[in-house]
Amino acid sequence: MRPNIVSEAGLQTRMGQWWEGIPVLTSSVVVVCGVIYLVCLLVGYDSFAEVCFWPSAVISRFQVYRIFTSILFHGSLLHVLFNMLALVPLGSELERIMGSVRLLYIIALLAISSALFHLLIALLVAHNPFHPSPYFMDECAIGFSGVLFSMIVIETSLSGAQTRSVFGLFNVPATWYALILLVVFQLVMTNVSLLGHLCGILSGFAYTYGLFNVLIPGTSFFSAIESSSYLSTCVRRPKFIMCTGGNGAGYLPTHSNQTVTSSGVLSGNIWENLSSWMPQRENSAQPVADDTRFPGRGRTLTSQTSTGNQDSTLQARLLSGSESPERISAPAAIGGERSLTGRQSAVDTTAGATRPLGQQGSIPSDEKVQKLVAMGFEKTQVEVALAAAEGDLNVAVEILSQQG
pLDDT digits (tens, 9 = 90+) for 97-156: 999 999 999 999 999 999 999 999 999 999 988 888 889 999 999 999 999 999 999 999
What is the C-alpha separation between 315 and 319, in angstroms, rounded? 6
Look over the chain and give the mean of its residue pLDDT values, rounded to a whole number: 75
β-bridge mates for residue 333, sequence order: 302
What is the C-alpha separation between 233 and 239, in angstroms, rounded? 12
User: Helix, strand or coil for residue 80?
Assistant: helix
Give the pLDDT confidence score for residue 246 in this predicted structure: 46
More confident residue, 322 or 112: 112
Q: Please say if the pLDDT value at position 348 is more than 70.
A: no
pLDDT tens, residue by residue, 14-40: 888 888 899 999 999 999 999 999 999
What would the mean pLDDT of 176-194 be, rounded to a whole number? 91
Q: Please say if the pLDDT value at position 366 is more than 90.
A: no
Task: Band the pLDDT of 351: cuts 50, 70, 90.
Answer: very low
Give the pLDDT confidence score for residue 357 in this predicted structure: 38
Q: What pTM does this model have? A: 0.60
Task: Band the pLDDT of 4: cuts 50, 70, 90.
Answer: low
Give the pLDDT confidence score for residue 78 in this predicted structure: 93
Catalytic residue ranges: 145, 197
Taking a C-beta distance cutoff of 8 angstroms, is the pair 17, 376 a contact?
yes
What is the C-alpha separation between 383 and 389, in angstroms, rounded? 10
Task: Band the pLDDT of 239: cuts 50, 70, 90.
Answer: confident
Provide the sign of the torsion angle of the four alpha carbons 85, 87, 89, 92, taken in this order: negative
More confident residue, 83 or 361: 83
Counting Cβ atoms within 10 Å, is residue 337 exposed (0-12), middle (13-18) or buried (19+)? exposed
